[in-house]
Each structure stands twice: as structure tokens, then as C-alpha cells.
Amino acid sequence: MTGQGVSWRRDPRSRAVLAVSVLLGLLGVLMAWIVIAPESTGTVFPDRGSATSGETRAAPGGGSYAFLQTQADGATPVAYDPCTPVRIVVNERRAPDDADAVLRRAVAEVEDASGLDLQVVGTTTDPPLAHEDDPEDGEGWRPVQISWTDADEVAELEGRVGGLGGSTWVERDDRRTYVTGEIMLDAPDLVRRGNGGDVATGVLMHELAHVLGLDHVDDLGELMHPSSPRDAWGPGDRVGLAALGAVGCA
């Protein structure tokens, strides 16, 4: 969480063009008949600086929410495919004693509000952002990686920043879908701020909501306020998360 409602994104690049270049490099030349599929990717990382496009919306029952990105219609949010589980791996290098309980509760809260299926599938020793330019492994998109880390490893966690979170999107047939993401938690900072793990739980919920597609709002009644002290969803958070879980299968 930072003091700024901001969004950072990398310029879209064509994965297909890159793949074809590598192939040509390996095989010599030829391959002129390869059809380059219209596909591009990018990353949305609201806690890492630069401007956001999130338009704040009023929730029907009160409260507010904002999406990090919308489709070309300007209304439908960019989201994960709700018909596929969102897989998660955890780097436990700096995990506090209550890390499992914090993760379990945050995941349960996100699932409850969004209707999405989040699956913690294992651990990893890969450092944070190791795969920033390499979001696929041999079997498909990498799982979302949650890293218990510190400001020595991730300089952007210095100061009051408790966590960072964002996702990578891919665009096919004019529809963008988030496919993998990354969360970095400042473990020593969160332990120091403590309160029985409630601070860490609230920060992880906030970062998971960024990963799924929610932007900051300037409303202290919502967990998506950039400096929210909450560890529970506000009314707008819930409306936004429910919409992200209801976009229809990709």
C-alpha cells in the first residue's frame, strides 16, 4: 500500500512477434508462412507509480470502487477468467510464524467476495519479479506468486509500503484477461505493525484485490483506499470484487 492512487504499466508488446523471432533465430530463416496471432500483453501494478485510469464508481448500496482496466466498452472490467482457478504459489523466505493463517484468511475473504476460486498450489524459491518478462512456464501461465520478502530484496517496499501487487494481462480477440500476477509483502514491516496478523491480512487482501483487478479509491470506508487501516472489505470493495468474478468465461 502506498500513499498514491497510481498505476504503472509496461508498454504492450507482442509475445507472438518475440516467439517468431526466437524461432527464426534458431532455425535460420524460412517460416514466412507463420501467421502472427493478434496477441499482446502488459502488466498493471498500481502500487509501483505512474498514473491510473481507474474511474471511481458509486456502489448501489453506498461505498465506491474502481477497476484498474476496462475492456473497450469502457464498462466491463479486465479480470481473470472466472471459469479457471487462480493458482497461487508462495515464497516463504521471510514468512512470519502466522503466515499460513494470514494467507488462509485473506484467500477466504477474497473468494467470499469475488466468487473466484483461488488455489494455493505450492511454494517457490524464485525471488520476487524473477519472471516479470517471462510469465509463462512450459505448461502455461505461471501461478500468481506471493512473496514474503523485505525492502532489502525489493527496494520499492522501503518506507511505509507494506505490499505491492499487480497482474499481467493478455489480449486476444479484443478481450483482455489477467493471466498471472505477483504480490510482494514487506514481512518485517507487517510484523512490526502487527496487531495479531490483522495488518498483514488486510494488506494481503488489498494486494489480492489489485491482482484481481481493483484500483484504489479515495474512500477510507474501503479496503482499497491506498492507506487503509482496515482488514475487512467495505461495501464498494465487495461490489467491485463481485463484478470481477462475474465477467463470463474467457
Binding residues for Zn ion, rule: CB under 5 A, are 1, 47
Least separation in angstroms between CB 224 and Zn ion? 7
Nearest position to Zn ion, beta carbon:
47
185-196 b/e (C-beta count within 10 Å ≥ 16 → b): bbbebbbebeee
From the list 54, 31, 29, 34, the residue with the least C-alpha distance to 44 is 54
> CA–CA separation, 91 vs 153, rounded Å?
13
CA angle 64, 68, 69 (to 5 degrees): 120
Least separation in angstroms between CB 225 and Zn ion? 9
Q: For residue 166, count CB atoms less than 10 angstroms from its CB and return exposed for 0-12, middle for 13-18, buried for 19 or more.
A: buried
Least separation in angstroms between CB 15 and Zn ion? 27
Phi-psi region of 36 (alpha: psi -120 to 50; beta: other; left: phi over 0): beta
Comparing CB distances to Zn ion, the nearer of 160 and 172 is: 160
Least separation in angstroms between CB 226 and Zn ion? 5
Comparing CB distances to Zn ion, the nearer of 47 and 189 is: 47
> CA–CA separation, 165 vs 212, rounded Å?
10
Comparing CB distances to Zn ion, the nearer of 124 and 161 is: 161
> CA–CA separation, 244 vs 242, rounded Å?
5
Least separation in angstroms between CB 1 and Zn ion? 5
Comparing CB distances to Zn ion, the nearer of 123 and 227 is: 227
Least separation in angstroms between CB 210 and Zn ion? 6
Comparing CB distances to Zn ion, the nearer of 177 and 228 is: 228
Comparing CB distances to Zn ion, the nearer of 124 and 206 is: 206
Q: In whole angstroms, what separates CA 200 from the centre of its chain?
A: 17
